[in-house]
Structures are given as C-alpha cells and as structure tokens.
C-alpha cells in the first residue's frame, strides 16, 4: 500500500501536486503550515480543496518563521516588490521556508509511516528562490534520511515544468476548474485569477493563456 504526504498551500502548484498524488498513490494525506502569512485565506482555500479531493489536511502553526526574519509575505508593513532591478530574489522570498516545511513534513511522515513526500517546487520559472532548486531537494532528501534513519523519497513532479505545462498537468488530472477557480497564488490573497498585477498573478495568468492557446491549436 503506497502512501504519500503532500506539502500543501492551496496554491496552483501544490493543488496540482495533490491531484497528481491521488493518481499515483493509494493513500494521500496533506500537511499545511500557518507561518504568519498575510492571507489566512490561503489556508481556508487549502481546507476547502482538500475536502473536495477527499484528502485529510493537517494544519500546523510555525509562527517562528516570520519572527526570525522579514519578508513581504508575512510583514504587512512591507510592499510586495514587482520587479528586481539587480537580479536579487524578490522580497516575497521567505528564507528557509521550503527547508522547514519539508523537515516538519518529514517528521510528520515518519510518525505516520509515510515514505513519500510531495512538494510543488520547481526551477523552470526560477524566480531566484534557492530552495526551489533540484540540487537543494536532492541534498535535503539525503539529509532527512540520515537525520531520521528513514528512507524518504521527495517527489517534485513540477520541477522542470513551466506554468503552462503545470496547467496542462492539472487539466489531464481532471483538476483544471478547481485549480483555476479555487486556488490562491496571488500575493494579495485574491483567489482564482487574482489581482492580475502582482508577479505571481502575471506568471500564473501568462501560463494559462499560453496553455489554452496551445490546446486550441493542438
């Protein structure tokens, strides 16, 4: 009996992963984190979608993440940057977030006898977040195995896909409408197509347009 744990946020990428997991594993469980993100609406969306997918969602609070450093996703006093003239990562970067999420997910997984962990990180639309890179995931996988003496496999089904290919995957998994209408990727916490102007919305909406174009031409 294969079991998997999905690191879940209620966004486009992790929702696509949730449905990918349901197709590839017998039992799927999800884990989400409240880390003081600006929009608790993300967690509400996550709960709603997980319920529809029939996947039990476990939500844990890790407030410390926003206490130890500042970024525009957790600090409502900070403006969300829309471009980065000097090629540094935008101030929406939450340093260490994926490492912490995956570490807590691994502890939870071992406690529940789950070897497979799924995360929606990817480096195709690389925005300068170092902990979304394949190199980091492979390294952390090894570290987690050593730290807990357990055989984890971290799956990253979206690692090499751009946004348009992620839309395609959601569509093939029968989750297109749920992803389009209910997920939240917008930095301002607006569901679906979002505000349309933040970097996250632009990336998501451009991907959708490209996917629909290629679908209609194919």
Residue of 198, 207, 208, 211 interacting with Zn ion (CB under 5 A): 198
Q: Which is nearer to Zn ion, 74 or 156 (CB)?
A: 74
Instruction: Provide, rounded to whole angstroms, the least separation between the CB of residue 80 and Zn ion.
Output: 9
Residue 186 interacts with Zn ion (CB under 5 A): yes or no? yes
Residue 203 interacts with Zn ion (CB under 5 A): yes or no? no
Residue 194 interacts with Zn ion (CB under 5 A): yes or no? yes
Q: What DSSP string runs through the chain?
A: --EEEEE--SSHHHHHHHHHHHHH-SEEEEEEEES--S-THHHHHHHHHHHHHT--EEEEE-THHHHHS--TTT-TTSPPPS--TTSPPPTT--TTHHHHHHHHHHHHHHHTT--EEE----STT--S-GGGSHHHHHHHHHHHHHHHT---EEE-TTTT--HHHHHHHHHHTT-HHHHHHH----TT---TT-SS-SHHHHHHHHHHHHHHHHHHH-
Q: Which is nearer to Zn ion, 145 or 205 (CB)?
A: 205
Number of residues counted as binding Zn ion (CB under 5 A)? 5
Q: Which stretch binds Zn ion (CB under 5 A): 6-14, 93-101, 108-116, 183-191?
A: 183-191
Residue 201 interacts with Zn ion (CB under 5 A): yes or no? yes
Q: Which is nearer to Zn ion, 166 or 198 (CB)?
A: 198
CA torsion angle for 100, 93, 75, 193 (degrees, to 10)?
A: -110
Residue 73 interacts with Zn ion (CB under 5 A): yes or no? no
Q: Which stretch binds Zn ion (CB under 5 A): 37-45, 127-135, 154-162, 196-204?
A: 196-204
Residue 195 interacts with Zn ion (CB under 5 A): yes or no? yes
Q: Which stretch binds Zn ion (CB under 5 A): 5-13, 38-46, 57-65, 180-188?
A: 180-188
Contacts with Zn ion, residue ranges (CB under 5 A): 186, 194-195, 198, 201
């Amino acid at each position: 009996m294969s079991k998997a744990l999905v690191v879940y946020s209620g966004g486009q990428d992790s929702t696509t992963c949730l449905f990918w997991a349901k197709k590839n594993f017998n039992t799927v469980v999800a884990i989400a984190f409240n880390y003081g993100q600006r929009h608790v609406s993300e967690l509400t969306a996550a709960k709603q979608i997980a319920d529809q997918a029939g996947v039990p969602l476990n939500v844990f609070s890790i407030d410390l993440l926003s206490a130890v450093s500042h970024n525009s996703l957790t600090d409502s006093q900070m403006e969300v940057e829309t471009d980065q003239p000097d090629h540094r990562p935008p101030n929406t970067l939450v340093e260490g977030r994926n490492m912490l999420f995956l570490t807590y997910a691994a502890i939870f997984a071992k406690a529940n006898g789950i070897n497979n962990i799924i995360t929606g990180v990817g480096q195709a639309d690389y925005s300068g977040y170092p902990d979304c890179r394949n190199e980091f995931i492979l390294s952390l996988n090894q570290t987690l195995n050593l730290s807990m003496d357990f055989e984890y496999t971290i799956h990253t089904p979206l690692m090499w896909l751009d946004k348009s290919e992620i839309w395609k995957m959601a569509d093939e998994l029968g989750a297109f409408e749920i992803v389009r209408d209910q997920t939240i990727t917008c930095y301002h916490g607006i569901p679906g197509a979002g505000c349309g102007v933040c970097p996250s919305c632009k990336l998501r909406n451009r991907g959708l347009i490209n996917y629909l174009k290629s679908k209609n031409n194919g």
